[in-house]
Structure 1
Amino acid sequence: MRVLVVEDDPGIADLLVRGLRRAGYTAGSVSSGHQALAAAPEPDVVLLDLGLPDLDGVDVCRRLRRRSDVAIIVVTARGEEGDRVAALDEGADDYLVKPFGLAELLARIRAVLRRVHPVDASGPEVLRHGPLEIDLRTRKVTVAQREVALTPKEFDILESLAVDPGRVVTRQEILERAWDAHWYGPTKVLDVHIAALRRKLDVPGLVETVYGRGFRLGTADADPAGPVRR
């Protein structure tokens, strides 16, 4: 799957491209509307900012849609209803307002691809980090080629950390992803699942606690000749 990021802020573009590549996509970026329209080969997904230096993003969306059924997801700081309506009316498949988490963006991409390219979207999407491998389609997890049986909640927690290794994911973000979008219950339930996840993965330092903030996926390497080490 080829994803084109159309974003004139190089810092944001770089973060998105790196996150997409870690998630298994072929990703690149351009910084203007004309570059987006001239991109070749044509991508499967376009992440389109509206505030471009040469063309309005809505106009780029319109031109892309006239010639192609490429999946278009608007990613912009413009959250007004009028902007949303204009982009969706011109053919955008989804609309995401900055700031947003990478996990949500990847979920939006998967949802759009299921609607637009159901055959292409059926292929496996694998996250890899050190000895850890996560197949998002089959929900299979392996550590140094050892399959790990996780509960649905444990898998969702691990996925929320693995989509952007190293980034601190807050407790609330994990609870909203793994339990409910409006979770108001006790957060200690998360600690129980994190402890179980660590036991099953059996990789010291892989799931790190960042006190007062949340959790993140740390750095860990597998020693193919022996035990897993940090």
Structure 2
Amino acid sequence: MTGRGRILVVEDDPRLGPIIRDVLSASWDVELVATRVDALEAALHRLFDVLVVDRRLPDGDGLDVVREVRRFRVTTPALMLTALGEVHDRVSGLDAGANDYLVKPFDFDELNARLRVLTRGADALGRVVEIGGWSFYPEDHTVHSPYSGRVALTDRESELLAILAAEPDRVFTREQLLSAVFERGEQVGTVDTYVHYIRRKTERDLIATVRGRGYRLGTPA
């Protein structure tokens, strides 16, 4: 794990795509794909801090990528890249679930600035997250119980709970949580072990099991 943010770039231009990847790689871990199908595969099965999606793809509209991930309750911020700069084009992108819109040609300093703005909200998670009657403080690695006060979490327990809390309606697979929180070489059973640790320290309903799919944030009393 690098500690850097992760970006999915969806761009089919054989020259522009690698340039975007190389420029952003100075600050981010970047995955570059060129089709709608590959974009959906990546966005729905791996974790990213932000999506950068071109409108015109060889197998469809980039807006369909955003619509589809929103349908699965993936709330990862999305920025659309496009040559379509009319007002109605920007409105259609925002209506589809995009968070921002940047018209080609663009300046990379502006792209980086917009990405910082889109991901700034994730940093705010470090203050307090209410989970039912519990209060989670990611920066402090603690959960405050409505009954017994402060409960300390380990780094890994806190990272795991923070991911679930960032998108409370999303079901995360064990594989997604494994790649986001744990070191390479760990087995998916490690995720189950740490979910057990968190539940034992707090209560079982803090993390919900979705049978056959994975885990999501729970709704404890």
Normalised to the residue count of structure 2, the TM-score between the two structures is: 0.51
TM superposition shift of 1:9: 0.4
1:5 — aligned with what? 9
Cα offsets for 1:6-53 (capped at 9, x unmatched): 00102111011001111x200021001110000142321110000011
Equivalent in the alignment of 1:93 = 99
Distance in 1, matches of 2:75 and 2:101, equals: 16
- Equivalent positions of 1:99-110 (< 5 A) are 99-110=105-116
- Which ranges of structure 1 fall in alignment gaps of 5 or more residues? 123-230
Q: What is the aligned partner in structure 1 of residue 80 from structure 2? A: 74
Q: 1:29 aligns with which of 29, 32, 51?
A: 32
Deviation at residue 73 of structure 1 after TM alignment? 0.2
Determine the structure 1 residue equivalent to 2:154: none
**1:54-92 deviation line (CA, Å, top 9, x unaligned):** 121111111122220111000111112121111101110
The answer as to 2:119 corresponding to 1:113 is yes
> Residue 107 and residue 120 in structure 1: after superposition, are their counterparts in 2 closer, same or farther (change >3 A)?
farther
Change (3 A) 1:120 1:97: farther
Letter in 1 for 2:18: D
Deviations 1:188-208 (A, max 9, x none): xxxxxxxxxxxxxxxxxxxxx
In the TM superposition, 1:80-229 aligns within 5 A as 80-115=86-121, 117-119=122-124
Moved more, 58-67 or 47-56: 58-67
Measured in 1, the distance between the counterparts of 2:126 and 2:20 equals 20
Greater mean deviation of Cα atoms: 33-42 or 10-19:
33-42
Q: Corresponding residue for 1:17?
A: 21
Are 2:88 and 1:50 equivalent residues in the alignment? no
The aligned amino acid for 1:13 is G
Residues 41 and 85 of structure 1: is their aligned pair in 2 closer, same or farther, counting only changes over 3 Å?
same
With over 3 angstroms needed to count, the CA separation of the structure-2 counterparts of 1:33 and 1:121, relative to structure 1, is: farther
Unaligned runs of 5+ residues in structure 2 are 128-221
Distance 1:60 1:76 in 2: 14
Query: In 1, distance between residues paired with 2:33 and 2:87?
Result: 26
For these two proteins, the number of residue pairs brought into alignment is 120
Counterpart secondary structure, 1:34: helix
The answer to whether 1:64 aligns with 2:69 is: yes
Do the aligned partners of residues 121 and 43 (structure 1) sit closer, same or farther apart at CA in structure 2, a change above 3 Å counting? Answer: farther
Q: Matched residues in 2 for 1:92 and 1:6: separation?
A: 14
Question: Are the equivalent residues in 2 in contact too, given 1:110–1:121 (CA < 8 A)?
Answer: no
Residues 1:42 and 1:28: Cα distance change in structure 2 (over 3 Å): same
In structure 1, give the amino acid aligned to 2:9. Answer: V
Q: Normalising to structure 1: TM-score of the pair?
A: 0.50
3-state SS in 2 of match to 1:110: helix
Equivalent residue letter for 2:32? S
Structure 1 segments of 4+ aligned residues over 6 angstroms from their partners: none
Deviates more, 1:78-87 or 1:29-38: 78-87
